Copies of this chain bind each other. A is one copy, B any other.
């Protein structure tokens, strides 16, 4: 399938993130008015809440009259398909609906983006083979790098839904307990090793009770976003044994504002890499459930030039989101609409494809050179981190837009200082 042409001409431009093939779901506002559901098309956002209110979209009852996509998700896959089909019809070249729809297009450059959905709960995984090996080598030495369970389970831990923010939100450097190896006791201080993690987020669009198969898990996923799981490495090193990361990961997790639906990504399915050990049957993929999505990380110091510091692909993951979701339910854990699953950090095999500063600077031992002679071991105040990603089709691109955040200075005294 090639590009589906739209009467919104910018959507037909080569390299555009948002052709008619994409139709990602977001929540936007213009000039401080009320946030509402929109779909990106070319250089515009289409106010689908207004289209529903005017009867141009009919999903069998109001689902777009709230500033989040959870109600559409809850309505289920048949509704997802109906909406996609209807929007394709409205926006296709030659559509009879053009005159009715056109007044509801707003320039993306004027739109302020909000969280596209209410996050029910947030789970972060550790499912990138190279990342696990790199980090394991630094924390436990190369011989113990990969934990014994790693090739059998998509290791995950519960994160903090309240800390998930939309692209563009500043991220304040956290305080935390830190302890140097040579110090007898910890101190309480701003993190000195604040980092990003390049991830994809999968959004659960259907609830479940009891365990679900990998096949059903795949069907439960509504779509994907870019995800930055900001991490305080020094806090993590001191706190994470024995019960895992906690405050090191609770400052913020930034997601891109557009949910790219599973339907839009369908042409880009790829299988997970070859298994190094056989998986137990319940975790085996019945078909390709990863996607080949090219990913980039751009780092820009305050007032400086931007540097691409990482290029990799989501196809590097050892486990797909469907496998992760299946594993998540093995205990009978109920899943809900709006649950967010972080893929785990995505690192390629090469140095310039690593998905965190921890790996790029090898724990600070090999500072990274940026454009303009600047170097970085970890993030400094004022640094802006931007993820970009997309899948390249035949004559079109399914893009994610940006997942961006700037690090701002820690509070001088954090106690009761508010955000």
Contact = CB atoms under 8 A, between A and B. Distances in A.
Interface in A164-212: 172, 174-177, 179, 185-188, 209-212
A45 to B, nearest CB: 28
Contacts of A331: 174-176, 232, 235, 247-248, 250-251
Interface stretch (A92-100, A303-311, A360-368, A408-416): A408-416
A165 B242 CA distance: 26
Contact of A211 (B179, B187, B417): B417
A388 interface: no
Nearest to A177: B153
Interface stretch (A52-60, A333-341, A347-355): A333-341
Given A213-B416, A232-B331, A248-B331, A241 B147 contact: yes
Contact of A415 (B213, B241, B251): B213
B209 A419 contact: yes
A411 B332 CA distance: 10
A243 interface: yes
A78 interface: no
Contact of A243 (B155, B282, B339): B155
Nearest to A410: B332
A162 interface: yes
B210 A330 contact: no
Contact of A188 (B161, B282, B415): B282
Count copies of this chain in the complex: 2
A158 B160 contact: yes
A216 interface: yes
B246 A158 contact: yes
A191 to B, nearest CB: 8
A308 B216 CA distance: 43
Given A162-B121, A246-B157, A332 B280 contact: no
A246 to B, nearest CB: 5
A120 interface: yes
A212 B186 CA distance: 20
Interface residues of A, number: 73
Given A162-B334, A332-B250, A242 B244 contact: yes
A43 interface: no
Contacts of A339: 162
A67 interface: no
B241 A282 contact: no
Given A172-B332, A332-B174, A415 B162 contact: no
A121 B162 CA distance: 8
A84 interface: no
A216 B416 contact: yes
A383 interface: no
A298 interface: no
A239 interface: yes
A155 B211 contact: no
Interface in A244-289: 244-248, 250-252, 277, 280-282
A7 interface: no
A18 to B, nearest CB: 31
Contact of A177 (B147, B156, B330): B330
A239 B415 contact: no
B332 A416 contact: no
Contacts of A120: 162
Contact of A175 (B121, B211, B248): B211
A332 B153 contact: no
A252 B331 CA distance: 9
Given A174-B330, A331-B232, A416-B211, A157 B157 contact: yes
- Rank and list the top 6 A-B pairs by shortest CB-CB distance, nearest first: A244-B244, A250-B333, A158-B158, A209-B419, A247-B331, A174-B331
